[in-house]
A and B are shown apart, each in its own frame.
Chain A
Amino acid sequence: MHSRRILITGLSSSWGGRLAQALEREPEVEAIIGVDSRDPRHELDRTEFVRVDTQHGLIRRIINAAAIDTVVDTRLVVDPLAAPLGLAHESNALGTANILAACSGDGSPVRKFVFKSSADYYGCEPGDPAFFTEEMARPHPPRTAIERDIVDAEERVADFAARNRGTSVTVLRVASGIAVEERTSHLALLALPMVPTILGFDPRCQFIHEDDIVGVLEHAVRYDLPGVFNAAADGVLALSEVISLLGKPMLPILPPWGTSFAAAQLRRTGLRVPVEMLRQLRFGRGLDNRRLKAAGYSYHYTTREAVVRLRAHQRLRPLLRSGAEPYQYERDVEDFLRWSPSVQSAPDGGEGRWKPSPAELAQLQRTLQALQADQSPAPRSWDLGAGGPPLASYDDLSGDEVIEIVASLEADALEALARYEASHLARRTVLAAIERSLSRQRPSGAAS
């Protein structure tokens, strides 16, 4: 993985937050910084959150200060329900310009730019091909403000890619997501007890599950995929199929003529069906997702499976709503947990027993890998750079502390650690713990 210091915009979206969570598990990722105008909704261990609007030019300072090499831009508002329209446009137009400006220029440390766009780039017209491929430029001019924003943003990104040859630019045109925490037109419509449709139309629809949105973004961070990629699950379903999978009745109450007038009347009842959605309900859309598959990504869910999971979520939601409190970001607590010296030097035993933080664990794993590759001699004192708080030298760790760490290590790292421990301190308790951990991992490793 080339990407080691990553900036994620749109951290509080469900894919932004989950992407950060996924990247936190990667030992090679040194720093993850998330920006958004809202607080994150996902529990994050070592990701640092900076509350900043992308409208301002502050992004550049963050990128330069933290020597960011990869920017994952997931902030683009692609659904009219996600934000008020004026705000969305401001964020889309100015935000894209600011972020691209921050990434360009000779002094910029950014080597990779991943841009989350939307399948709405292609629009939705009767003369469309059944499966859009990435080379197909949008065949018709954009119809709505959001579509215009998407097309504009992609143009800016393409322009950026042409000017900055040294930066690998990935554009992901993501289909409508089954991301249950997000507010999207499709999900709002499908969440109704009866799904309103346009009389006489049964459009084709294609979705992508939230896990796959995160997976695709992570794939784009992990590998170099320059170019444009459609991200949509396998399978294009008829809307009637989707609705029957959800176990709901189809309600064709929108008339085929004067549909927008009827939709305007519906809005009075509290149901907002945006113009983009009306066109989707009429003509539908399909994407050719094979280019991304050829680039090595394999989808977790097909469109049908994603819909089945949406059904499970819709059924369970009323039962689970009163259950667990949702995660709430508390800046002071997060700062304390990350930076307080007391957290890092808490004494052994009792409640405050020392535990390696994920950042420290990542450091340790990296060092062990280096050790395994015989690249560095004994890890007397680890060079920790700016990756996180320093971890005390290994030899100074007590046996119990090492045993704590052992449980979370991979087999290769364990073997390296065993060799090192045997040749240095040779603590019997530590060696026994490593041996136990190894024997636990081996059978499962052999099975897979």
Chain B
Amino acid sequence: MPETTPTDAVPDPSDANPAPGADQSPDAPTRELALSDLRDESQLPAARSDLRHFLPGLEPERHVTDWGRSELVEGVVDRTVYDFLYHYWFRVEVEGIENVPADGGALLVSNHAGALPPDGMMIAKAIREEHRHPRPLHIMVGSTLKGLPGLSMLIAKVGGVPAHPANVHRLLFDEHQLVLVFPEGRNGTEKPLKDRYRLRRFDQWNFVEAAMRARAPIVPLAVLGTEEAQPIFAHVSLLRRLTGLPRLPITPTFYLPAKLRVRFLEPVRTDDLGDEPWNDRARMQTLAADIRALIQENLLEMVAGRGSVWLG
């Protein structure tokens, strides 16, 4: 039996890709982590070597990305609904758009309010309209929405992605995309009008972990006006239980024409926090609390400074 089989070893695919030496190069993030302590809580893809070179590209014949986002549908919705809402209904004003990085992954963190909040789509539209490098924005939406007929289909087509730490990580780290999260999650959308502009507890502070692991900056932002655009007066829990919907608030079924203001704040770097900052739970919690305080502070400042709810 000849022993001259050079193919015994697994072929090194790095021959085709010149720079996969993630573990050697000093500036690349070290992706080897002791996951034993994280596995229980974290659903992030753990202990993966840098596989970005193997990311499949989008075939030119396709119009829907692997995330289910459709250029076609997004374009149509953008030209009709978004355009109208952005320019005429909410008359969105944007501050600090330069704080959104022009390339690389970045995690946008925003406050969240209203039964079916318009903030996500208006932030996406603001980046498309005002930014010097318009970029698509991937909006993390609650996974309960994935179970709703019609809406689930539409949300995915216009750039909504089910909120999952692994999704955030893939978008930030592997695909260098802009991701928008609402860390208040459902708490924010269930908030009644009397609690307006008071940020709820950050339900999912593992967004900080996702950004740290991806070494992506966090851009906090404050949105003013969504609380009045679709105020929630009360909740009917009996109806909710009967219909099986995630929530059933008493709210106007359409958006009121409140003036919307979006303020992008200074990015918070996460790549200068040491080697594996995500192992330090306390530190992540502190960072999340800092970001929450920053957004809250800016919100209150904007509320204090505004003349009218409807005219701005």
The reply on A300 being an interface residue by CB < 8 A is: no
User: In the complex, what distance in Å separates the CA atom of A126 from the CA atom of B155?
Assistant: 14
Which parts of A168-201 form the interface with B (CB within 8 Å)? 198-201
Other A-B contacts than A238-B70, A291-B48, 15 sampled, CB-CB below 8 A, are A28-B1, A126-B162, A128-B164, A131-B170, A200-B149, A201-B152, A222-B7, A235-B58, A241-B62, A282-B147, A283-B146, A288-B45, A293-B13, A294-B51, A304-B59
User: In the complex, what distance in Å separates the CA atom of A224 from the CA atom of B171?
Assistant: 31
Judge whether B7 and A136 touch: CB under 8 Å. Answer: no
The reply on B274 being an interface residue by CB < 8 A is: no
What residues on B are CB-neighbors of A126 within 8 Å? Answer: 143-144, 146-147, 162
What residues on A are CB-neighbors of B161 within 8 Å? Answer: 130
- Give the contacting residue for B68; candidates A28, A222, A238, A375; CB below 8 A: A238
The reply on A318 being an interface residue by CB < 8 A is: no
Per-residue contact bits, chain A 298-326, to B (CB 8 Å; 1 contact, 0 not): 00001010000000000000000000000
How many residues of chain B get a CB closer than 8 Å to chain A's CBs? 51
Judge whether A369 and B10 touch: CB under 8 Å. Answer: no
Cross-chain pairs A/B with CB under 8 angstroms, 26 sampled: A1-B7, A2-B8, A126-B162, A128-B143, A128-B164, A129-B165, A130-B66, A130-B67, A130-B167, A130-B170, A133-B45, A133-B166, A136-B166, A139-B43, A198-B149, A223-B8, A235-B66, A237-B62, A238-B68, A288-B45, A289-B56, A290-B51, A302-B59, A304-B59, A366-B2, A370-B1
Judge whether A235 and B56 touch: CB under 8 Å. Answer: yes
User: In the complex, what distance in Å separates the CA atom of A185 from the CA atom of B146?
Assistant: 23
Per-residue contact bits, chain B 134-172, to A (CB 8 Å; 1 contact, 0 not): 000000000110111111110011000110111100100
The reply on B11 being an interface residue by CB < 8 A is: yes
- Give the contacting residue for A135; candidates B2, B45, B61, B66; CB below 8 A: B45
- Give the contacting residue for B10; candidates A2, A224, A256; CB below 8 A: A224
A residues whose Cβ falls under 8 Å from a Cβ of B: 1-2, 4, 28, 126-131, 133, 135-136, 139, 198-202, 204, 222-225, 234-238, 241, 256, 282-284, 286, 288-291, 293-296, 302, 304, 366, 369-370, 373, 375
- Give the contacting residue for B162; candidates A130, A202, A225; CB below 8 A: A130
What residues on A are CB-neighbors of B254 within 8 Å? Answer: none
Judge whether B12 and A296 touch: CB under 8 Å. Answer: yes
Judge whether B164 and A369 touch: CB under 8 Å. Answer: no
User: In the complex, what distance in Å separates the CA atom of A250 from the CA atom of B70?
Assistant: 17
The reply on B49 being an interface residue by CB < 8 A is: yes
User: What residue of chain A has the Cβ atom nearest to residue B69's Cβ?
Assistant: A238
The reply on B121 being an interface residue by CB < 8 A is: no
Q: A129-B166, A135-B48 are in contact. Are A237 and B64 (CB under 8 A)?
A: yes
What residues on B are CB-neighbors of A284 within 8 Å? Answer: 68
User: What residue of chain B has the Cβ atom nearest to residue A302's Cβ?
Assistant: B59
The reply on B46 being an interface residue by CB < 8 A is: yes
What residues on B are CB-neighbors of A127 within 8 Å? Answer: 143, 146, 162, 164
What residues on A are CB-neighbors of B152 within 8 Å? Answer: 200-201
Judge whether B164 and A291 touch: CB under 8 Å. Answer: no
Which parts of B9-46 form the interface with A (CB within 8 Å)? 9-13, 35, 43, 45-46
User: In the complex, what distance in Å separates the CA atom of A412 from the CA atom of B78?
Assistant: 63
A-B pairs, top 7 by smallest CB distance, nearest first, are A200-B149, A234-B56, A256-B149, A129-B166, A290-B54, A200-B150, A290-B51
Judge whether A130 and B62 touch: CB under 8 Å. Answer: no
| Interface residues of B, dominant DSSP | loop
Which parts of B147-206 form the interface with A (CB within 8 Å)? 147-153, 156-157, 161-162, 164-167, 170
Question: What's the nearest-Cβ distance from chain B to residue A86, in Å?
Answer: 32
Judge whether B5 and A235 touch: CB under 8 Å. Answer: no
Judge whether B48 and A201 touch: CB under 8 Å. Answer: no
What residues on B are CB-neighbors of A290 within 8 Å? Answer: 51, 54-55
Question: What's the nearest-Cβ distance from chain B to residue A234, in Å?
Answer: 4
User: In the complex, what distance in Å separates the CA atom of A423 from the CA atom of B232?
Assistant: 96
User: In the complex, what distance in Å separates the CA atom of A291 from the CA atom of B54?
Assistant: 8
Per-residue contact bits, chain B 62-83, to A (CB 8 Å; 1 contact, 0 not): 1110111010000000000000
What residues on B are CB-neighbors of A198 within 8 Å? Answer: 149
What residues on B are CB-neighbors of A4 within 8 Å? Answer: 1
Judge whether A304 and B62 touch: CB under 8 Å. Answer: yes
Q: A130-B161, A202-B153 are in contact. Are A223 and B10 (CB under 8 A)?
A: yes
User: What residue of chain A has the Cβ atom nearest to residue B63's Cβ?
Assistant: A241
Question: What's the nearest-Cβ distance from chain A to residue B169, in Å?
Answer: 9
The reply on B4 being an interface residue by CB < 8 A is: yes
What residues on B are CB-neighbors of A225 within 8 Å? Answer: 10
Question: What's the nearest-Cβ distance from chain B to residue A36, in Å?
Answer: 29
Q: A126-B144, A293-B13 are in contact. Are A136 and B45 (CB under 8 A)?
A: yes
User: In the complex, what distance in Å separates the CA atom of A27 from the CA atom of B62?
Assistant: 41
Judge whether B51 and A204 touch: CB under 8 Å. Answer: no
The reply on B250 being an interface residue by CB < 8 A is: no
Question: What's the nearest-Cβ distance from chain B to residue A238, in Å?
Answer: 5
Judge whether B4 and A369 touch: CB under 8 Å. Answer: yes
User: In the complex, what distance in Å separates the CA atom of A142 from the CA atom of B21?
Assistant: 38
Judge whether B13 and A296 touch: CB under 8 Å. Answer: yes
What residues on B are CB-neighbors of A370 within 8 Å? Answer: 1-2
What residues on A are CB-neighbors of B167 within 8 Å? Answer: 129-131
User: In the complex, what distance in Å separates the CA atom of A288 from the CA atom of B63?
Assistant: 20
Question: What's the nearest-Cβ distance from chain B to residue A228, in Å?
Answer: 13
The reply on B47 being an interface residue by CB < 8 A is: yes
User: What residue of chain A has the Cβ atom nearest to residue B70's Cβ?
Assistant: A238
User: In the complex, what distance in Å separates the CA atom of A291 from the CA atom of B48?
Assistant: 9
Question: What's the nearest-Cβ distance from chain B to residue A305, in Å?
Answer: 8
User: What residue of chain A has the Cβ atom nearest to residue B164's Cβ?
Assistant: A129
